[in-house]
Each structure stands twice: as structure tokens, then as C-alpha cells.
Amino acid sequence: MKENTRANLELTPDPRVAVFHTNREVSEALEVYPSPDAALDGMPLAALLATIDGVVALELNGHDVTITRDESVSWDDIALQVVEALKDFFLL
């Protein structure tokens, strides 16, 4: 039986950046994507997360996903989409 994917949101001192701590390994090593375009050419999970409106950069490392958002979009608008994308990705 597959384990359910969980993610906890941690806001950082930079209001544009948040870390999603997951119970699943998202990357064996640090993967940095400074733009959505860069992520589209990267790992499949990065490409999926890059399609979320408001995501401007991301990092995958171990069990953590760090997202930088556009200042015009709130975490309320992005957070649920990130968690749902993680859940969908790990169902595949």
C-alpha cells in the first residue's frame, strides 16, 4: 500500500519564500530552478510545480520543496495547489 503524501507549510522570514516539508523524498540532491522555464526542463516534479500560477522559482532537496512566489499572488492562492500537485505526482 502506498503511503499518503503529506506536506507541512513553513513560512520563512522572506514573505515570498515558503518551504513545504513532505513525508516523501522529492530529490536525492539539491535541485535549483531559478525560473519556471528552467523547471520545465528539469525533474518531472519541478516541471509540474512550475505550472502553478505565481511560482517564480523553486528548489527540491530531500523531503523539502522551497517555493518562491510572485508578490502579486498570496500563499493562500498557491499552497493548496502545491500540496495537490505533490499528492498527484506521488500517485503516478
In this predicted model, what pLDDT tens digit does every residue of 66-89 receive, in sequence order? 999 999 999 999 999 999 999 999
Residue-level length of the chain: 92
- The domain defined by 7-91 carries CATH number 3.30.1370.70: yes
Over residues 18-29, the mean pLDDT reads 96
Ranges of each domain in the chain: 7-91
**Single pTM value for the model:** 0.92
In this predicted model, what pLDDT tens digit does every residue of 25-72 receive, in sequence order? 999 999 999 999 999 999 999 999 999 999 999 999 999 999 999 999
Name every residue whose Cβ is closer than 8 Å to that of residue 29 and which is 6 or more positions away in sequence: 61
Confidence check: pLDDT of 2 > 80: no
| pLDDT value for 1 | 38
